[in-house]
Chain A
Amino acid sequence: MNAMTKTEPLLQIEGLTKHFHVRLGAFGEREAVVHALDDISFDIMPGETLSVVGESGCGKSTAGFTILQLHRPTAGRIRYQGRDLAGLDEKALRPYRRELQIIFQDPYSTLNPRMTIGEAIAEPILFHKLAPKGEVKSRVERLLADVGLPARFAMRYPHELSGGQRQRVAIARALACEPKFIVCDEAISALDVSIQAQIINLLLELQRKYGLTYLFIAHDLAVVRHISTRVAVMYLGRVAELAPRARLFGNPLHPYTKALLSAVPEADPAYERKRQRQILQGDVPSPMAPPAGCRFHTRCPLAIERCRVEAPVWRETSPGHHVACHLAEGGGE
């Protein structure tokens, strides 16, 4: 790469918004709008792992789905290598669908129970015509090796595999597409600790080997700290804070980020017993009626009058450190 040019983002997300229209009441007589994602903007750099954290329902999966055009956005742009995907029809999207992949929490639900593992991995290779017929078998074997499974697994069926092994197959299937970008939506959340570590290591290894970019959706902050380049914290459809890993964990600015970090237990009895944690009270409000002003104000320990009426702007307080909080405003360094 030319040393003079700045690295271009792989994806540029601008003002991305996704509202779902739902019907409520026993007869669906009322209509409501779920503000699943409201005006989020950030770049994703090639080769990085951008993690997205936040409580259940805050819009993490919706963000992933909308970036991949599995949900069409209500508003906003998703520029992939400069091209806006939001404006493309299904046919024009085809080549991008191959390059932008997703792995889910439960690979069991995405693997066809009647297909062997070999067939499941071969399917995208054939569909996207990524190898001549005669080479598919060896390609499948190489992919199995990439994810640490012996070649004989090609003959097995999903139900004969453990959860960790199935997740390896899901990764191999995504890799088969020769992707540039993978959304990992809680991809390791359902796995046992000892297996989880194996899969994390595998994802990191594959990233290095193939130059992959990850959007890593997770709720385990310790895992996120371990694998991320940068971290975005979401709350109720908005991004509250986004920063390089060391800054987000070392110098969190948003009260929600602080509360979230304070809730994470450590495997250290002495530390846990004397720890003073700040416990966030109450639940997340409904995304059908998000609070006015700052969406976090109903639970924020620092909220002032202004927070109830005025939404904080998304601003950069120091290079690469973005936050949306009135009290963090001007608090740059």
Chain B
Amino acid sequence: MARKNGQELLLDVRDLAIEVVTRNGPARIVDGISLTVEKGETLGVVGESGCGKSLTMLSLLGLLPNKISVIGGSATFKGRDLLAMSHKELRKVRGGEIGFVFQDPMTSLNPVVRIGQQVMEPLLYHRNMGRAEARKRAGELLKLVGIPGAEERLDNYPHELSGGMRQRVMIAIGLACDPALLIADEPTTALDVTIQAQIVDIVKELRAKLGMSIVWITHDLALIAGLVDRVVVLYAGSVVEDAPVDELYENPAHPYTRGLLASIPRLKDEGAEKLSSIGGTPPEPGRRPAGCPFAPRCPIARAECERAVPALEPVKGEGAHRVACFAAGEIAEAVA
């Protein structure tokens, strides 16, 4: 799948499939997800809870929980398949060339280890730095992510910091080894809007300074609007739409994306009386319909949608905007 501008791909995930073992046998949680990240690009991955966005990223890092495993696909990062790597090889990549930040810093940070030591760990492990050098660098990193009095903070324990500060520490750890790719999974979801704005600002600044690629996973279409270059929308374990950011918000082609965008209340608008909403709930893994996963909730579904799964295809010609919907062509025409 050549990108139109021939940019170099940093990450190329193809046909990723992930299953969970349940009482009723295996169930597909991720069902053939393909996505790419170019060098220097920031990709937003959007979807509701249970759509498989976190598991997709965890699988790349070899961090899938028990009973959940990759059963197919590849994930090429700098020419090597992450999914085929041994644990030992993955450990060299994880926290080194690929940094990551998760939603809840309280569970990702070790509560009984001082902040400084936790920022130093990737430097000691991946960079073979001496302790003194690593400590100095850890102080610089905390300063970089905007922690006031950074050096004095090195000896704090996680509980001595606020939620926003802990999340900054996580970002400092994620960036410690100048990663080519930073995977951020809902890193601001637990935070206040004011702190969220601080964190997003810092990430933008660091991206400009360090030039890494970012995959930012979220359920919040407003949050990533000003942050990402491209958006992949997931629904029930599949990619339903993949588009450059402006295109996605201006001309959403998938009925699910359109429904999502319509159901967000806007701060700019005076309150409308009734929000438009998508009826029903997403299907559970193992109970996905045979055809398009969105068909049971789709306002424009037709017979065809219940029989076959639509492929992810360009909305028109060779464009970078792709959608998995039998009716998308008509939507595009009706809107044009």
Contact A267:B192 (CB < 8 A) given known A277-B197, A282-B148: no
Inter-chain CA distance A55–B278, complex, in Å, is: 29
Assess whether A266 is in contact with B274, with CB atoms less than 8 Å apart: no
Query: Complex: how many Å from CA A222 to CA B276?
Result: 14
| Inter-chain contacts of B221 with A (CB < 8 A) | 193, 267
One of A125-133, A135-143, A169-177, A255-263 contacting the partner: A255-263
For B265, the chain A residues whose CB sits under 8 A away are 197, 200, 220, 222-223, 225-226
**Do most interface residues of chain B lie in helix, strand or loop, or is the interface mixed?**
loop
**Does B219 belong to the interface (CB within 8 Å)?**
yes
What's the Cα separation between A262 and B272 when bound, in Å?
A: 21
Asked if residues A162 and B281 are in contact (CB atoms below 8 Å), the reply is yes
**Are B193 and A260 in contact, with the CB atoms below 8 A?**
yes
Is the CB of B32 closer than 8 A to any CB of chain A? no
By the criterion CB–CB under 8 Å, are A165 and B281 in contact? yes
**CA–CA, A89 to B307, complex, Å?**
64
A198 interface residue (CB < 8 Å to B) = yes
Q: In the bound complex, do residue B48 and residue A281 qualify as a contact, i.e. CB atoms below 8 Å apart? A: no
Bound together, the chains give a CA A261 to CA B267 distance in angstroms of: 8
CA distance A68 to B335 in the complex (A): 50
> Which residues from chain A contact B261 at a C-beta distance below 8 Å?
267
In the complex formed, the residue of A with least CB distance to B276 is A197
- Which of chain B's residues have a CB closer than 8 A to the CB of A281? 198
Chain B residues, Cβ within 8 Å of A115: none
- In the complex, what residues of B have CB within 8 A of residue A219's CB? 192-193
- Given A221-B193, A279-B197, does the pair A194, B267 have CB atoms closer than 8 Å? no
With A193-B219, A265-B226: A201-B267 Cβ-Cβ less than 8 Å = no
Q: Which residue of A lies closest to B267 (CB)?
A: A222
CB distance from B223 to the nearest CB of A (A): 5
Task: Report Cα–Cα, A227/B270, bound state, in Å.
Answer: 10
Shortest Cβ gap from A35 to chain B (Å): 17
Is the C-beta of A41 less than 8 angstroms from some C-beta in chain B?
Answer: no
Interface residues of A in 4-60 (CB under 8 A from B): 55-56
From A72-80, A268-276, A307-315, A322-330, the one touching the partner chain is A268-276
Q: Are B225 and A196 touching (Cβ within 8 A)?
A: no
Chain B proximity of A117: nearest CB distance (Å): 16
Produce 1/0 per residue, A275-304, CB < 8 A to B.
101011111100000000000000000000
Q: Is A222 touching B222 in the complex (CB atoms < 8 A)?
A: yes
What 1/0 mask marks residues of chain B from 242 to 280 whose CB sits below 8 Å from any chain A CB?
000110010000000001110111111111111111110
Is the C-beta of A246 less than 8 angstroms from some C-beta in chain B?
A: yes
Q: How far is the CA of A283 from the CA of B165 in the complex (A)?
A: 9
Q: Does B194 belong to the interface (CB within 8 Å)? A: yes
Q: Is A238 an interface residue (CB 8 A)?
A: no
Q: How extensive is the interface on chain B, given as a class?
A: 35 or more
Q: In angstroms, how far is the closest chain A Cβ from the Cβ of B71?
A: 26
Of chain B, the residue at the smallest CB distance from A202 is B277
* Complex Cα gap A249–B269 (Å): 10
Which residues does chain A contribute within 8 Å of B245, judged by CB atoms?
A: 269
**Candidates B272, B273, B277; contact of A194 at CB < 8 Å:** B277
Q: Is A164 an interface residue (CB 8 A)?
A: yes
**B contact residues around A226 at 8 Å (CB):** 265, 271-272, 275
Interchain CB contact under 8 A, A197 and B226: no
A264 at interface, CB cutoff 8 A: yes
Given known A194-B278, A265-B222, contact A222–B266 (CB-CB < 8 A): yes
- Tell me the chain A residues, 140-184 only, with Cβ under 8 Å from chain B: 162-165
* In the assembled complex, A195 has its CB within 8 A of some CB on chain B: yes
Contact B198 A279 (CB under 8 A): yes
Contact B225 A272 (CB under 8 A): yes
Complex Cα–Cα for A165 and B246 (A): 34
> In the docked arrangement, what's the CA distance between A196 and B249, Å?
20
Q: Which B residues lie within 8 Å of A192 (CB)?
A: 48-49, 219
**28 A-B contact pairs sorted by A residue (CB < 8 Å):** A55-B194, A193-B219, A193-B260, A193-B263, A194-B48, A194-B263, A197-B275, A219-B193, A220-B265, A222-B222, A225-B265, A225-B267, A226-B272, A228-B271, A260-B193, A264-B222, A264-B267, A265-B200, A265-B220, A265-B226, A266-B222, A267-B221, A271-B225, A272-B225, A272-B227, A279-B198, A281-B198, A283-B164
Given contacts A56-B163, A269-B249, 10 further A-B contacts (CB under 8 A): A193-B260, A197-B277, A197-B278, A221-B267, A226-B272, A245-B271, A266-B267, A271-B268, A280-B194, A280-B198
Ranked nearest first, the 10 interchain pairs of A and B with the lowest CB-CB distance are A272-B226, A197-B277, A197-B263, A192-B48, A226-B265, A263-B197, A194-B278, A226-B271, A197-B275, A267-B222
List residues of chain B with CB under 8 Å of any chain A CB.
48-49, 148, 162-165, 192-198, 200-201, 219-223, 225-227, 245-246, 249, 259-261, 263-279, 281
